[in-house]
Structure 1
């Protein structure tokens, strides 16, 4: 179990454990104006719970295809203070047909587009683009996003340009971008991206996680302090 300040995550059965990517996306995503939220590929429910903590007026639909992850997400949601505001759907987005549109769609999508696929089927499904392509994800987001809504993702930095161009083809416009690196001297590792249906000036920033091993930057502490116990 992974204990946060206001909730806990059981993750024994899920292929994907609590990680920095999910925490970053859950803490960084603009959630203040969102009433209806969709979390695509919720896994253990981490991001859905973080968004529920940050916005007490939101209702969240969480979709997950993996049965083991669903069982743990269900347990994590039920044990939280926000169980009445989070609904879990055990399905793929290709089969999920909501009755509403969303003010915010969020996803920590599959990646590893050019690496050897894991022998472990569940981890491969959870983290490989064969399970959910960027094109499918963006197309679905465009369809179910309200006119003034936003969608946010965290992806490998090396995929950033292709992802932004693909979004642009679907008339989703980049409005917020934060490139993430582990330490100042290292290369960028992740990109946090926010899109809307209406073009506007893009806010571009950089986030460095550590000054040295386990010595975190002020920016990272400020971002994650509402969640991590020791921040």
Structure 2
């Protein structure tokens, strides 16, 4: 597969690993990484999100985990060939059994979100077989630093469920970005950010395209330091 070229780094891709997509780009560009010194990404795939966050925060140290050996190897390759290689580590590991004494200022994930189906395409990355929401949220809540942020992108129709599980695990919703694919359409994705601290909710809307195949000014501005637009 062809690599995906960004302004400061390149993503090698594989047919065996979930490819670069809009969800990952949005989370990489919008997750609140400004004050983080230690970042954990759960389910790295190609390494895209950590690489984008490393470009945005020039001091933070990153650790990526992926249960898929092919994804872990691909992430490692992309990390090692980036200008941020000295701050990026990756491990082939199951988040459910991951053990550490560290706490993280930002835990970020573009998690699996489809229930099991008959399709084999991107089975681990797209389906909740290896990691469900309860497992992800409960473990993330224990690994957050006192003022840490847990940031995810998920389908809009599971947003209430995700927030409810967060509450059960002592996490407060601090920020919500409601994402539309195109103007005047339904909300398709949510970026949700949680912390152990109760704060006033920062609620906003984001539109990807202003018309079919025409990116919105909002998207162009957000990604101008990353995308190479023709």
| TM norm. shorter chain > 0.5 | yes
Structure 1's unaligned 5+ residue stretches are none
Find 1:27's aligned residue among 26, 29, 34: 29
Residue aligning to 1:66: 68
**Alpha-carbon separation, structure 2, partners of 1:180 and 1:161:** 15
TM-score by length of 2: 0.96
**Alpha-carbon separation, structure 1, partners of 2:174 and 2:203:** 8
Is 1:189 aligned with 2:191? no
User: What are the equivalent positions in structure 2 for 1:65-84 lying under 5 Å apart?
Assistant: 65-84=67-86
Is 1:228 aligned with 2:219? no
Equivalent pairs counted in the alignment come to: 228
Find 1:47's aligned residue among 43, 49, 60: 49
Q: CA deviation at 1:187?
A: 1.0
Residue aligning to 1:6: 8
Q: Which runs of 4+ in 1 moved over 6 A?
A: none
TM-score by length of 1: 0.95
Change (3 A) 1:200 1:7: same
Q: CA deviation at 1:103?
A: 0.4
- Secondary structure of 1:189's aligned partner: strand
Tell me how large the CA RMSD over aligned residues is: 1.2
**Alpha-carbon separation, structure 1, partners of 2:124 and 2:118:** 10
- Secondary structure of 2:187's aligned partner: coil
**Alpha-carbon separation, structure 2, partners of 1:223 and 1:7:** 17
Q: CA deviation at 1:162?
A: 0.7
Structure 2's unaligned 5+ residue stretches are none
Residue aligning to 2:171: 172
**Over residues 27-78 of structure 1, what are the superposed CA-to-partner deviations in whole Å (9 max), with x where a residue is unaligned?**
0001010000000001110001011100001000000111111111111001
Q: CA deviation at 1:214?
A: 2.3
